[in-house]
Amino acid sequence: MGVKSRMKSIDFYKKLPTDLTESTLTGSFISIIAATLMGLLLVLELASFMRVQSAMQLVVDSSPQNELLKITFNISFPALSCEFATLDVSDALGKKRMNLTKTIRKTPVDINLESAGTTYVDPGIKQQPKYDDEDKWWDHLDLTQPIHEKYPESTDRRIRFAKIDCTAEVDLCRSNFITAFPSIRVFRRAHDDIYINGQHEHEAYTGDRTKDALVAFADTLVPSAGQPYLKHGDLAAAPKTSGCNLAGFVLVKKVPGTLHFTPRSEHHSFDHNWMNMSHTVNSFYFGAMPSPTKYHALKKLHPLGLNSDWLDKLKGQQFFSTSPQHTHEHYMQVVRTTIQPLHGGKASSYDAYEYNAHSHTYISDHQPTAKFSYDLAAMQVVVREQPRPWYKFLTTTCAVIGGVFTVAGILDSMLYAGINMRKKLELGKQG
């Protein structure tokens, strides 16, 4: 009995006899409210516990030395022919790569940026035209007298060669949309419109510039010489210049660099005053673009959330040349963001490259281009998912239950005491 008595003395939860307790209507209301509040707070606390928690940290970029970065792009130039469209890449280390082709696709487009021909994948080094004498190849046109005699002016099968100096006849060349020199156009009844691979453009000769090649080309025109010009129904004339969509990717070192989109040909010169480098950026991003499923999972981890243009700030933007010789330059500041989930799965560790873009258009004294310059920050943003121990949830649960119960008890005691005091006052007045 002595042990039991000592044990009862340390009971934290001493009980009152049932006949000494009293139930009240006020206490019932407070109990219902307290129970509801406990349940609501417990549900909110559980939801908070189950929600992903992450923290951001700024550290020095930990990329391995000489690691390459992939730049993916899809850009449409409505006034740049795929024949002359090229991509050059340069960086701060002095490395220059000219006319990249292996990972680039070129597709002709019309003025509305719709596909106007088959996609062209350059297999490598482009075969350049051959010349008997590159500096005097036009003189071979004076040696075509036999062709003029073979197909004389008086017949319907006549063929004539003519040469024009576009530096002297500027307006004539521009009116025929000739922007690269030398060019050989084929006119049939004063028209040079033609369909090539489903693309409506100007008929031109792009073969070797040798006497034999030119004579052979003239002979191929004989079957169609003198035939009525075949108009293309109600279609408009060939566009001023065929446009081009360039899509693909390049691998670069993680140092400042520039992608140059420019017209170039080793055997042509260009009228800079007629070049138009207007373009639409369909996509331009660094690294790999996450799948929709992975994007949704990563969005939960990022404390600031993710916008639709998270990795591609230039997507859908259009840049127009309002006057000749306009060069467009885009400067991008790139920051690597590494998102590290607590566990693997759909949102395994992912490196994202976010960037801010600043664009500028100016008149250049040289050939107009579209430049995409980038500079990678030396710092890296690391987003880590934070663990949530179960004991914290249990501690909070106890605090919620105990706190609400205690506060409700205090409130019930105050109301009970107040009601009793009021009753005593009313009885005193009646006496």
Q: pLDDT, tens digit, for every residue of 400-429?
A: 888 888 888 888 888 878 877 887 777 776
Residue, of 219 and 345, whose pLDDT is higher: 219
Given pLDDT bands bounded at 50, 70 and 90, which one contains residue 154?
A: low
Residue, of 216 and 3, whose pLDDT is higher: 216
In this predicted structure, the answer to whether residue 8 has a pLDDT above a threshold of 80 is: no
- The torsion region of residue 331 among left (phi > 0), alpha (psi -120 to 50) and beta comes to beta
CA distance 145 to 205: 19
pLDDT score recorded for residue 68:
93
- Rg for the chain (alpha carbons), in Å? 40
Residue among 354, 335, 333, 343 at smallest CA distance from 300:
343
- How far, in Å, are 340, 395, 413 from residue 408 at the CA level? 44, 20, 9
Q: pLDDT tens, 312-368?
A: 999 999 999 887 788 999 999 999 988 878 775 444 778 889 999 999 999 887 888
pLDDT score recorded for residue 212:
75
Whether the Cβ atoms of residue 340 and residue 331 lie closer than 8 Å to each other: no
Largest CA distance in the chain: 145
Whether the Cβ atoms of residue 261 and residue 104 lie closer than 8 Å to each other: no
Whether the Cβ atoms of residue 335 and residue 353 lie closer than 8 Å to each other: yes
Residue among 270, 261, 241 at smallest CA distance from 369:
261
Output the CA angle 245-249-254, nearest 5 degrees. 135
CA distance 283 to 71: 10
